[in-house]
Amino acid sequence: MNEVLTCLEHQSIPIRPTRNSGDFAITTAQAAQLSKSKSIPLDAFRWGHQSLQWRQFCGVIQLEGLTLEILPKIYGKESQPGSCRLTLVRMLRKAGMMKVHRGAAASIHAQNHSLLDIFIQEFCLLLREQTLIGKPRDYQQQEANLGVVKGKLLVNQQLRQNLAHRERLYCQFDELTDDIAINQIIKFTLRILFPQCRSNQSRKAVTGLLMQHDAISEASFSSSDIDRIQLNRTNSRYGPLLDWCRLFMDTRNPDVTAGKHNLLSILFDMNVLFERWLAAELKPIAHQAGLTLKEQSPRRHLAYRPDIDQNVFQTRPDISLINPDKRVVLILDAKWKILESAEAKLGISQQDLYQLTAYGNLYGPHSLALIYPRQENLQAHYPVQLYGRQRMGLDVFCADVTKGIGELVRAALLRAQSTPS
């Protein structure tokens, strides 16, 4: 059973020629696996002197002899890996990036399991729920020797195979079966996951589901095969499961070393996760306020080239709130970054400020907001005034992801809605 090494984002991990059990380090061979992996984003970490430092990516990587778990740095929970893990899982669920029945999810103790086991158990719970409803089935064309005609008689094959056996009839027919591509993909995914299970609970769950799929044919698949699956009203409930299968398949890297070890990595860009979590938090509040929430929208252009008659430099705000008159009243930009409380500029990137200023001029919203995760020595809210033809108000919020967006963000939303045009 692989040892689990848990670290936080932005934390450096020493690289040593060898390591003993319990050492906070990885070996040079394991570092070589990471450097050769094609499934890990290039900007997931940076190399240091005999060390590596994780950046804004969190998740799990299965190395040879070691499971590397990277957790988000949550304010006030830095010394509690279980709490950081639980927060990450809750954010994934809230953002819709981890889909499972809410009641079933409560049975997974995120603080007591590794991330990889949590992902495996989430998949198994969702699969078990759908299997109880019934495996998807479809009609498959088959050919066989039968005692009576079924479907249509294939004359050429009948003469070729049954000339001396007049009691046999070679027929082609359609038969309703569960041995179809969707279930074969599910079984292939379960076979991928079984050797990755660390806890007895995960191993038991995968084994039980493999037994339920024992009659399904074994075959190998890739994520491109999943893309070719046509979902309809009878099998659309398997869509989230196929998303999980795609995730597990995409994160495999079978040729990372000269050996036979398969590297598996499941990493989430915290910038993307934070943005989707924030949108999910805001959506019901916006609905209550009579506003429509749009992600990566509305799209407009900053400039026009008359020589080619084409708009250029398209903008895509992270989150926009639009009133019934179709006017943008609030634009929010989510940034999973570290701020500096001692600086007058708070460590806010000048590029981010230019971006918000451009949004203000282009969309003319009532209000702008930058939202960061809560950090040490930082207040929950900082008001900023942007210069321009007319001054624009910018709210900088530090949201506690363990509790939600907080009342200050709600107040900003309502204030933006009530501001006159």
pLDDT in tens, 169-205: 889 988 888 989 999 999 999 998 998 888 888 899 9
CB 266 within 8 A of CB 86: no
Q: How far is residue 88's CA from residue 301's CA, in Å, rounded to a whole number?
A: 35
pLDDT in tens, 16-50: 999 998 899 999 999 988 888 777 888 888 999 89
Q: Running DSSP on this structure, what letter comes out for residue 196? A: G
**CA 114 to chain centroid:** 17
Nearest Cα residue to 401 out of 184, 95, 104, 2: 95
CB 63 within 8 A of CB 26: yes
Query: 171 — phi, psi (to 5°)?
Result: -120, 155
pLDDT in tens, 70-81: 999 888 888 888
pLDDT in tens, 269-286: 999 999 999 999 989 888
Across residues 387-401, what is the average pLDDT? 84
Q: How far is residue 33's CA from residue 288's CA, in Å, rounded to a whole number?
A: 50
CB 12 within 8 A of CB 45: no
pTM above 0.85, yes or no: no
Residue 348 has pLDDT above 70, yes or no: yes
Residue 133 has pLDDT above 80, yes or no: yes
Q: How far is residue 150's CA from residue 44's CA, in Å, rounded to a whole number?
A: 58
| Helix intervals (H) in 350-394 | 350-363
| Helix intervals (H) in 231-289 | 239-250, 270-288
Which tokens in the block code for residue 416?
Answer: 């933006």
What pLDDT, on a 0 to 100 scale, did the predictor assign at position 257? 35
Share of the chain above pLDDT 90, in %: 31
Q: How far is residue 190's CA from residue 202's CA, in Å, rounded to a whole number?
A: 11
**CA 55 to chain centroid:** 17
Specify the pairing of strand 310-315 against strand 300-305: antiparallel
What pLDDT, on a 0 to 100 scale, did the predictor assign at position 254? 43
Q: How far is CA 396 from CA 241, 278, 306, 348, 373, in A?
A: 38, 14, 37, 10, 11
